[in-house]
Amino acid sequence: MIQLASFLSSLCLIYQMFWPPAFVAAKELTCRIKNPDGSLQGHNDVTYDTENNLCCNGSLTERMSGGHYQDCCVTNLMEGTGRTFFIDEKQCCGNDLISRVNKDGRRIECCDGKMPYLVEDGGLCCNGEYDPNAGANMRCCGGIKFNAANKICCNGHIHKRIKGQLQSCCGLKSFNPETHECYHIGQHGHVQLRYSRKCGGIPYDSREKACCQEKLYDDANEQTSFGCCGPNLRRSKYQQCCNDTIVHENKQCCGYGRNAKEYDDQVHKCEGGKLLLKSNPMAFCGPDKQEYDSNNQHCCGGTVLSKRDKCCAGQRLPKDHICCQKDSTYEAEEKAIKKDGAHDNKCCIFYGGIRNSYSDIKMRCVMGEVRSKDLQLCGGKPYNKTQDLCCKGSVLYPGKKALNWKCCISSIKAYHINTDNPILSIQMSRQMCKGNKTATASQRDIAEINLQTQPDPVGSRTKQWQASLGFTFLGLFLILLMPS
């Protein structure tokens, strides 16, 4: 029991320390003591302990024992002295200290701090006057009595009630909350039709449309939507708002206000408003081993860059440059060059460090030179495709393609086509393509003469076959003519 009493005493002390009574604002206050003549002139401020005393009309009064909720009432105007009392039991009315209830338990109030009256009697105190026969429905509004059964008081202004309608107050005005609504601008109340709104100065019905930061939505209304996210309308209760932006499906929001960011919770995690990788694959860059996140960054010549930045020859690649990769064929090292055109995406490399940029949509690189794709080339050099003969990258007999010359298949040689004698052309191609050199015009003529003087083995065999076939048909014809 002794331990329980000690615990309750300590608990009471803690309560008094952190939750002081309403009428004890501080441990010590200052009371301005009146002079003997009743004046307050001079330096008569006295500091007193609020736990044990009260300052009552310029004099210090000792508190009664038994509680902190006390006040004082000046009961002697001549002397200016007062009496202390417990406020839950008594009240000061005029210069008298009266009880809050009478002997029958009925509540007593004080009218304008001067006249006591019984509340249950239907009496009304208004503008400093007490009317004992006011009635149960009578009220006071701005110092004027009115009947609350047919009128309503809105901040000191009386309005008539409309039969069959609800009445509420909006500032100094009354309105029907079923058809209208109240909104405040500063301290002033304004009444408007219940669903009437304005969006950027344009009137609209909130049952048909919705407005977010002066942006009007025709395909939704404020009753079925779920509020605004900056200028964006939330169409589902599951949509999150993150820094005035609707969070995408399967994404989350990390942080608050303008620092909030959307993130994928499969990749990142949010701790204290900051995004961190769930698995943080760290790497090291440069001789000083600078730590970086290899998922979002990369190392470029000892400098950590974002994955959005490109690296060329160990340096950050400017946006108006292109990176020419290393080419062992032309003994060229990696190098960044400035673009010749805004849409260039390729490098044209050649011996001696020659590098030019070009767009591969319409151009091509030919032995270090940028050429149009429409230009016909033979071994990297322009030529006339309809006139010249290009054989394995070499132009043979310029202008003689039109004279029926053709390339050999297996060598950089050409032969002449005889359009009148295809068999002769075949023989010519075999003879010219076997030689060590491409046939010249004189060699062609000699070859044609030799072919004309030599016997034609193919022609001889053809004639023999035709003769044999003729004799066969003649024998069959004679047999048919013989009598049976």
| Residue 473 pLDDT | 60
Pair 260, 267: CB distance under 8 Å: no
State the Cα angle at 205 between 202 and 206, rounded to 5°.
110
Which string of DSSP letters, residue by residue, matches 215-232?
EEETT--TTTS--EETTE
In whole angstroms, give the CA distance from residue 450 to residue 439: 15
Q: Which helix (H) or strand (E) holds 452?
A: helix 441-453
Q: What is the pLDDT along the chain (484 residues), one digit of tens a residue?
A: 434 444 444 444 444 444 444 333 446 777 877 766 666 656 678 888 888 888 877 777 788 877 668 888 877 655 556 788 888 888 988 888 899 998 888 888 888 888 888 877 778 889 888 888 888 889 999 999 999 999 999 999 999 999 889 999 999 999 999 889 888 877 788 888 888 888 888 888 888 889 999 999 988 887 788 889 999 999 888 889 999 999 998 899 999 888 899 999 888 888 788 887 776 667 788 888 887 888 788 999 999 999 899 999 999 999 999 999 888 777 788 899 999 998 999 998 887 777 889 998 888 888 788 888 888 888 777 777 777 888 887 877 777 665 677 787 776 777 777 655 555 556 666 666 765 444 443 344 433 333 333 344 444 444 454 555 665 666 565 566 665 5
Residue 447: half-sphere exposure toward Cβ, Cα within 13 Å: 21
Q: What are the residue ranges spanned by the domains of the chain? A: 385-455
| φ/ψ (deg, to 5) at 479 | -65, -40
| Residue 314 pLDDT | 92
pLDDT digits (tens, 9 = 90+) for 360-402: 888 888 878 888 888 888 877 777 777 788 888 787 777 766 5
**Statement: the pTM of the whole predicted model exceeds 0.85:** no
In whole angstroms, give the CA distance from residue 234 to residue 54: 59
Which string of DSSP letters, residue by residue, matches 336-369?
EEE-SSTT--EEEEETTTEEEEE-TTTEEEETTE
In whole angstroms, give the CA distance from residue 85 to residue 90: 7
Residue 428: half-sphere exposure toward Cβ, Cα within 13 Å: 27
Give the CA-trace dihedral at 386, 391, 395, 397, to 10 degrees.
-80
In whole angstroms, give the CA distance from residue 380 to residue 393: 8
In whole angstroms, give the CA distance from residue 293 to residue 116: 80
Ranges of beta strands (E only) in 15-69 are: 28-32, 45-49, 53-56, 59-62
| Residue 291 pLDDT | 78
* CA gyration radius, the chain: 56
| Residue 1 pLDDT | 41
Q: Kindly give, in sequence order, each residue whose CB lies less than 8 Å from that of residue 100, ignoring residues fewer than 6 positions away.
A: 88, 89, 90, 91, 107, 108
In whole angstroms, give the CA distance from residue 245 to residue 252: 12
pLDDT digits (tens, 9 = 90+) for 152-174: 999 999 999 998 899 999 999 99
| Residue 6 pLDDT | 47
